[in-house]
Amino acid sequence: MTVMRTIPHRELRNNSSAVLADVKAGETIAVTNNGEISAILVPPSTSAYDQMVAAGLVSRARRPGHARDIARIVPSRTSQDVLDELRSDR
């Protein structure tokens, strides 16, 4: 696992030029807000997703699948039927 420097958002705000120079030089920096990571700054030549995988922040899906594989549900009534029924109660 890659170790990255962590800074509070205040440091990014106050020293943005220096922080961005470090990122441009190849360093990956996590920015926190109230102790939780809000952003990860990565060098432009590096994929952000690859950096997050390396840092253990994301992982691959546990089982393969796509939304197109989900069975389609065909309702027995249309939305119009339901609306007509509701309107008849008035």
Tens-digit pLDDT profile for the chain (90 aa)? 457 899 999 999 999 999 999 998 889 899 999 999 999 898 876 676 776 777 777 766 666 667 777 788 888 888 898 898 889 876
Whether 65 maps to a domain, the answer reads no
CATH number at residue 27: 3.40.1620.10
Whether 37 maps to a domain, the answer reads yes
Whether 79 maps to a domain, the answer reads no
**Residue 19 confidence (pLDDT):** 95
Whether 90 maps to a domain, the answer reads no
Provide the 10 A C-beta neighbour count for residue 71: 5
**Residue whose token pair is 């990122």:** 23
Provide the 10 A C-beta neighbour count for residue 51: 19
Distance in angstroms (rounded) separating the CA atoms of residues 13 and 74: 52
Distance in angstroms (rounded) separating the CA atoms of residues 17 and 6: 16
pTM over 0.85: no
**Residue 14 confidence (pLDDT):** 96
Q: How far from the centroid of its chain's Cα atoms is residue 52's Cα?
A: 10
Domain that holds residue 55: 1-60
**Residue 52 confidence (pLDDT):** 73
